[in-house]
Amino acid sequence: MFRSTLAITLASVFAAVAAPSFAAEVEAFQNATVQPNGVRTGGSGINFFNVEGSDFGNFSSYGVARFDVSAAKAGFDALYGAGNWLTASVTLRLTQSNAAFTADGGVAVYFTGDDAVSLVAPSPLRYPLAGDFPDAVLLTSYAFQEVSSGTVEDYSLYSLPISGIPAANALADDIRTDDTVTLILADTTAGVAATYAGYNNNTYAGPTLMILAAPVPEPETYALMGAGLLLVSVARGLRRRG
């Protein structure tokens, strides 16, 4: 009987939280490759988005991308009601646009609340990242591997249930409360040269945020979740005694 009640309650919880969701794709409206001498200028500075380690001297760089999420938020408001939605998941999509110097290595993705610093010259930004964005917090890191131009890479930055990672929560909150999101990609190994399409690339899409929204759960949903978690806790206790 207990197991049957537990199964029914958990099924109710999953049904309550598995409400219809809505996804939006937001391509960056601005990106920059920041080198030791400043932001890369000319067409290459906006057609490409480069992360290169210290082994590359004056070509070493980190990347910054900005996204206007206002249209996505308007869509979420239209579907669920103004403010009656939450950020369910955020994925960063990058498309390789490789060059002769492209090389495998480590890359880290950061969130910053600084949506104001200029990403075009003249800009105070300089490689390396240290000091440019004091509030930058790590979202994730990954091993870049060159495949071929046009290869799409997806990196999860946030996903419900809440992970407890402050940077991820800050990103999710920023999407709900602000119209601009700024991300930073920086090298974690000296020999990496990750080369991606920028927002002005003629062939491939630039950095893109895949945002999934879901309606704010009704109060009874929270009650169901509490009951489900309580039953799970009781069930674990019974198993330990058995």
pLDDT digits (tens, 9 = 90+) for 127-165: 999 999 999 999 999 999 999 999 999 999 999 876 568
Domain boundaries, the chain: 1-19+217-242, 26-216
Kindly state the tokens that stand for 53: 């380690």
In the block, tokens 């930073």 appear at: 184
In the block, tokens 């990196």 appear at: 155
In the block, tokens 């906006």 appear at: 46
Section 1-28 average pLDDT: 57
C-alpha span between 200 and 176 (Å, rounded): 27
* pLDDT tier for residue 227 given thresholds of 50, 70 and 90: very low
Q: How many CB atoms lie within 10 A of CB 76?
A: 28
- Let me know the angle formed at the C-alpha of 32 by 39 and 151, rounded to the nearest 5 degrees: 135
Tallying the residues shown for the chain, one arrives at 242
pLDDT at 94: 98
Tell me the three state secondary structure of residue 123: coil
pLDDT at 161: 74
C-alpha span between 214 and 225 (Å, rounded): 16
What are the pLDDT digits (tens) for 151-209?
A: 999 999 999 876 568 899 999 999 999 999 999 999 999 999 999 999 999 999 999 99
